[in-house]
Amino acid sequence: MQRIVVLAGGIGGARFLRGLKAAAPQADITVIGNTGDDIHLFGLKVCPDLDTVMYTLGGGINEEQGWGRTDETFKVKEELAAYGVGPEWFGLGDRDFATHIVRSQMLAAGYPLSAVTEALCDRWQPGVRLIPMSDDRVETHVAVEIDGEQKAIHFQEYWVRLRASVDALAVVPVGAEQAKPAPGVLEAIAEADVVLFPPSNPVVSVGTILAVPGIREAIAEAGVPVVGLSPIVGDAPVRGMADKVLAAVGVESSAAAVAEHYGSGLLDGWLVDTVDKGAVERVEAAGIRCRAVPLMMTDVAATAEMARAALEMAEEVRG
Ligand code: FO1
């Protein structure tokens, strides 16, 4: 039984996991989920990246959005707006609200986020073990300058309300330094046969998970192959606005630059899309094995091929 650990963010990570499950149906997959996107709204704790993985693998995701539930209605959202209670820019549906209510009441009863996530996954049966990176509160904030005034805003406000339309001057996972890996995270990494970095946002998703003290070190010291798949294809993010946050950390929006950003101390292998085959030499020069394969997750079969290529590369570099 191959044990695979995947550091996942939201949409890209969740879609990759669907292909990984198809490529390695017998594998024992543990997902370490990003919680830096979490936001507290209307007295509830919303965990977008955990929910996207849970809903996508559990069959409840709104497929074209990649977040939120299918067959959604927005009665509660309308009523909140009628009371003048904001924010209105974050689209929480009625079905989705139930997840946040259950999560919030369990947290209020004293259960840690990891136990809450396990309980929620009991319903959804995602077919992987989903563990938040930490039970401690970490929330990514983005420093921006608006009308000449510098301020830090919540990542969701930057991402959803502003659509990343202004430059991110800095991206700060608030609370990361004090956060501890959630129970099971370090154990899963230590017992893993392979660790995968899916095409999630390298700054606000995988980067945030690596910012929790102990996680980066555990992966680097685990002595098992670590293979990543580039979220940047042809110098642009496949989806989302990763280029905006990459710029904030001084990383150019290219497949090679992201591999160098993770570094050979962490990455053993890196898959780039065929359009970026010219990047292979530069990545290999950085001490990271590199191959160019199709990386567009157009359907589960295509994604399964990517996952297979990543697992094959892991065996090539194992040594
Ligand atoms: N993304 C949007 O672009 N617009 C929204 O209104 C929105 C609402 C939302 C509600 C719940 C949830 O779990 C995710 C939601 N997202 C929305 C996506 C979210 O901003 C991203 O999935 C992650 O934070 C980035 O990976």
Distance, CA of 270 to CA of 310 (rounded, Å): 8
Q: Does residue 41's CB lie within 6 angstroms of at least one atom of ligand 1?
A: no
CATH number for the domain running over 3-37+47-59+114-135+178-318: 3.40.50.10680
pLDDT tens digits, one per residue of 119-167: 999 999 999 999 999 999 999 999 999 999 999 999 999 999 999 999 9
> Is 135 among the annotated ligand-binding positions?
no
pLDDT of residue 265: 96
The tokens 């209670």 sit on which residue? 85
pLDDT at 238 over 90: no
Q: Give the model's pLDDT for residue 240.
A: 82
Whether 93 is in the pocket of ligand 1, judged by its Cβ within 6 Å, is no
Please state, for a pLDDT cut of 70, what percent of the chain lies above it. Answer: 100
* Token code pair at residue 304: 């399964």
9 lines ligand 1 (CB under 6 A): yes
The token pair that represents 170 in the structure block: 């800095």
Q: What pLDDT sits at residue 218?
A: 98
The answer, yes or no, to whether residue 319 has pLDDT greater than 80, is no
Look over the chain and give the mean of its residue pLDDT values, rounded to a whole number.
97
Hey, what amino acid is at 204? V
Ligand 1 within 6 A of CB of 48: yes
Check: CB of residue 183 under 8 Å from CB of residue 189. no
Distance, CA of 132 to CA of 310 (rounded, Å): 23
Across 95-110, average pLDDT: 98
The atom of ligand 1 lying closest to the CA of 89 is 6
Could you read off the pLDDT of 201-232 as tens digits, one per residue? Answer: 999 999 999 999 999 999 999 999 999 999 99
| Integer Cα distance of 197 and 178 in angstroms | 24
Task: Give the model's confidence band at 235: pLDDT under 50 very low, under 70 low, under 90 confident, else very high.
Answer: confident
Given a cut of 90, is residue 241 above it in pLDDT?
no
Q: Which residue has the higher pLDDT, 316 or 235?
A: 316
CA distances to 43, 48, 65 from 75, rounded to whole Å, are 18, 20, 19
Give the model's pLDDT for residue 44: 98
CA of 277 to the centre of ligand 1 (A): 32
Average confidence (pLDDT) over 52-65? 97
Does ligand 1 come within 6 angstroms of the Cβ of 10? yes
**Using an 8 Å Cβ cutoff, are 128 and 17 in contact?**
yes
**What does the alpha-carbon distance between residue 275 and residue 297 come to, in Å, rounded to a whole number?**
15
Say if strands 44-46 and 139-146 run parallel, antiparallel, or are unpaired. unpaired
Mean pLDDT (whole number) for 244-271 = 96
The set of residues, in sequence order, having a beta carbon less than 8 Å from that of 44 and lying 6+ positions away, is: 97, 100, 101, 103, 104
Average pLDDT estimate for 242-259: 94
| Helical segments of the chain, H only | 11-23, 48-58, 75-82, 94-108, 113-124, 155-156, 185-191, 206-210, 215-221, 242-248, 255-262, 280-285, 300-317
Span 70-92, pLDDT tens digits: 999 999 999 999 999 999 999 99
Cα 48 to ligand 1 centre (Å): 6
Query: Which residue's alpha carbon is at the smallest distance from atom 2 of ligand 1?
Result: 160
Q: Where are the domains of the chain?
A: 3-37+47-59+114-135+178-318, 139-174
Q: What are phi and psi of 263, to 5 degrees?
A: 90, 155
Percent of the chain surpassing pLDDT 90: 97
- Given ligand 1 and candidates 17, 140, 160, which is best to mutate, with the most ligand atoms within 8 Å of its CB? 160
Which residue, among 143, 158, 174, has the nearest Cα to 241 in the 3D structure? 158
* pLDDT the model gives residue 239: 84
Closest atom of ligand 1 relative to the 159 alpha carbon: 20
Following DSSP, what letter does each residue of 193-234 receive, concatenated?
A: SEEEE-SS-TTTTHHHHHTSTTHHHHHHHS-S-EEEE-SEET
